[in-house]
Structure 1
C-alpha cells in the first residue's frame, strides 16, 4: 500500500511567465516539509505549477490589481500512485495574498499525503479485515479522504498563523483541490473558486455540472454562522450584490468569501477554513473538470466555460484559451472595474484516444448555469 512512498521527486520543469521555475519551487517546498516532519512522504511524479500536457492544462494570468495572487498546481503520480493525480487552484487576497496562496499550495499536498497515510493506517489497524475491494469500499475510502482533508486544512491554517515570514492577519487564500484516485474524484473546497464537470446528458448534449458551492457570505448557512459569531455581512453602496464579511465594530476586512485560509483578523467572527469535501464516480460520459478562480466565473457561465474547453482542438491549450476568453468577457461586461487575476486547471478524465471528439457536442448543447 505504501510501496514507493520514499522515492524522491521527479520534477517537470515548466517555467511561468516570469521565467521562474515555479513548479520546482513548489515541489522543493513539499520535499522540505516532508523531511522536516520526518515523514516518509517524498513522492515521485510530475509537478506542474504552470504548463500543460494531454491529461491536464494549467494557466494563470495577472489581473489589473497588482501582483498575481492566484497560483495553481497539478501533481501527477500523487503519492507514488500511478492512478492518482492532485489538482488545485489557490486565490490569494490582501497585502500578503500572493505569499499566502503559494504557501497553502506548497504545504497542502504533502500535508494531505501525510494525513491520508496516517488515517489509512489507523483504519487498517482498527479493522484488520477492512476490505477496500468490497461493496463498501467507496464509503470507506471517502471517509478516509474526508478526514484527511479536514485534518490537513486545520493544520495548514494553524501553521500559516504561526509562519514567521508571512503576515496573514489581514491576508488569506482560498483553496479548491481535487484528488483523482482511479475512477473516483474527491473534491475539497475552501472559498469561492469553482469546479465544473463537463458531461454528456441523456439527450446527448454536453452539459455543465457544478461540483462545488461558491462560499459567499450571503449563503444562508454561512451568514448564520458569521452572525452567530458577531460578524457582519453587508454590501457597500458602490458594490450592490457583493456581500462581504466585516468585523463587529469596524468596516474591515470586507472579505467577499466566507471560508479561507489566513485572515485571522476575522476568524473569531465566523470565517472558517473548514473544507466541504465531496466525491464523484467518473463515468464514460464525464469528459473533463474545470477548476477556476472566481475572476473567471464572474464573467463566464459554467456552460460557456465547458464550451470553450471542449472546442479547443489541442488539450494543452485549453486552460489558456479559457482564461483569454474570460479576459475578453471581462472587458465587455465589467468595463470600468479592475480585472481580477484569472487561473484555470482543466483535468481531462479520459485519454484522447479513448474519448470521442468533444467538439461534436458543442453544436448540440443545452443551457445549464
Structure 2
C-alpha cells in the first residue's frame, strides 16, 4: 500500500502521454482502479452500446412552473484518447397525470461509466411512473425506483460495475413544487431575483464530497479512508474514497450508483432530497448540470450567463461552450458536459 496522501502507483501516468495523462488524473472521478481512462473499454471487452443523447428543446407540455426548457449532452475531448465515449446522459420527461416534469443529468465514470449512466437514463423514469406511490408520495417512489434500477444493474453480468458508476441529479417540478434529488457531485441550482435586484444562485442540491463531515464519518466507520492524492508536481487532486487496506478505487464522491468496490468502503447510493416551493415573483430558472460545467464555472457565473441569453436553447449552448473553453485553458482536455436549463413562470432574459 502506498503511503497515505502519496500518489498510488496505479494513478501515475506511464508511457507515451505520461504527464498529460497524470494531469487529467486529477480530474478523473475514479483513479487507482486501473490504468484505463474513464470512458475507454478495455481491449477484448464487449458491452451493449448505449443510446446516444441528443440536444432537445421543449415547451412544457404539463401544467407546472416550468414553461420552456432545453438540454444537451456533449462528449468531452482528450487528445491522448481517441476512443473516448460520452459517459454523461440526460433525462427530460413529463407525466401529464400528475403535472410533473422530470429533468435529470447523469455523469458516468470508470471503464463502463457510459453504460451505467445509459442504464439509468433508459429505465429510471418507467420505474418512477409505475411505482404505486408516485402520485401521493414522490420521495418514496423515486427512492424505491432508484434502488430497483440499481439492483437490476448489479445483476447484469454484461456491465462491470466493480469500478464503474454514475451520479444522478434531478429536478422534479410538480405544479409549483420543486423536489431536488441528488446522488454524487452533479448539481441543480436556481436563478433567483428579488425586487429589482441582481440575479443570485440558490443551490437546490448539494454535492456529496468525501470530505464533507457527515459523508466522511460514514466512510471511516465502514473502514474506508478519505484523502487526496499528492502528485509529483505538488498539486493535490480532490479528496477521494479508498479501501482501508488498498489504494482503490479512489472515487471522488461519497455517493454514487454502481461502484461496487467503493460501496464496500462506505460510499452509498441513497438519494438526498430537498423540497422547495417555487415563487413566481422571484424564481426565474433552473440549471441542472454535471461537473463538466461546475468544475470551472461557478454558480454565480452560470446564472449570469443564462441571464444574458435568449431562451434555454441558447443558454445551454453557451454554457457548454464556455465550460469547454475553460477546460482547455486549464487542463488541455474537456470533460463530458451535460446541461439543462428550464425557465420558470414564463421568465425570459432581457438580452
1:184 maps onto 2:156 in alignment: no
How far is the alpha carbon of 1:202 from its aligned partner?
4.4
Structure 1, 314-323 or 266-275: larger mean CA deviation: 314-323
Q: Confirm or deny: 8 A CA contact 2:185 2:209 kept in the other structure.
A: yes
1:51 maps onto 2:56 in alignment: yes
How far is the alpha carbon of 1:203 from its aligned partner?
5.4
Q: Confirm or deny: 8 A CA contact 1:231 1:245 kept in the other structure.
A: yes
Q: Deviations over 1:15-34 (max 9, x none)?
A: xxxxxxxxx959xxxxxxxx
Match of residue 133 from structure 2: 119
Q: Write the distance in 1 (CA, Å) between the matches of 2:288 and 2:162.
A: 27
1:99 maps onto 2:115 in alignment: yes
How far is the alpha carbon of 1:81 from its aligned partner?
2.7
How far is the alpha carbon of 1:358 from its aligned partner?
2.5
Match of residue 174 from structure 1: 167
Equivalent position SS for 2:133:
helix
Q: Write the distance in 1 (CA, Å) between the matches of 2:114 and 2:54.
A: 14
Match of residue 83 from structure 1: 99
Q: Write the distance in 2 (CA, Å) between the matches of 1:220 and 1:164.
A: 35
How far is the alpha carbon of 1:164 from its aligned partner?
3.0
Q: Deviations over 1:159-207 (max 9, x none)?
A: 1110132111210001111211111111110110011100103452211
Match of residue 72 from structure 1: 90
Q: Write the distance in 1 (CA, Å) between the matches of 2:150 and 2:265.
A: 16
Q: Write the distance in 1 (CA, Å) between the matches of 2:149 and 2:299.
A: 30
More helix by share: 1
Match of residue 252 from structure 1: 248
Match of residue 358 from structure 1: 349
How many residue pairs match? The answer is 285
Match of residue 3 from structure 1: none
Q: Confirm or deny: 8 A CA contact 2:311 2:349 kept in the other structure.
A: no
1:349 maps onto 2:344 in alignment: yes
* 1:217-366 correspondence to structure 2 within 5 Å: 217-238=210-231, 239-240=235-236, 242-284=238-280, 285-332=282-329, 334-336=330-332, 338-351=333-346, 355=347, 357-359=348-350
Q: Write the distance in 1 (CA, Å) between the matches of 2:113 and 2:278.
A: 34
Q: Write the distance in 2 (CA, Å) between the matches of 1:183 and 1:99.
A: 34
Match of residue 34 from structure 2: none
Match of residue 41 from structure 2: none
How far is the alpha carbon of 1:120 from its aligned partner?
5.5
Residues 1:49 and 1:279: Cα distance change in structure 2 (over 3 Å): farther
Q: Write the distance in 1 (CA, Å) between the matches of 2:126 and 2:314.
A: 28
Q: Write the distance in 1 (CA, Å) between the matches of 2:148 and 2:54.
A: 23
Match of residue 75 from structure 2: 62
Q: Write the distance in 2 (CA, Å) between the matches of 1:171 and 1:67.
A: 14
How far is the alpha carbon of 1:67 from its aligned partner?
0.9
Q: Write the distance in 2 (CA, Å) between the matches of 1:25 and 1:108.
A: 15
Match of residue 15 from structure 2: none
Q: Confirm or deny: 8 A CA contact 2:225 2:241 kept in the other structure.
A: yes
How far is the alpha carbon of 1:57 from its aligned partner?
1.0
How far is the alpha carbon of 1:62 from its aligned partner?
1.4
Per the normalisation by structure 2, the TM-score is 0.77
How far is the alpha carbon of 1:318 from its aligned partner?
1.5
Q: Write the distance in 1 (CA, Å) between the matches of 2:98 and 2:213.
A: 41
Over the residues paired in the alignment, what is the CA RMSD in angstroms?
Answer: 2.0
Q: Write the distance in 2 (CA, Å) between the matches of 1:164 and 1:98.
A: 16
How far is the alpha carbon of 1:82 from its aligned partner?
6.9
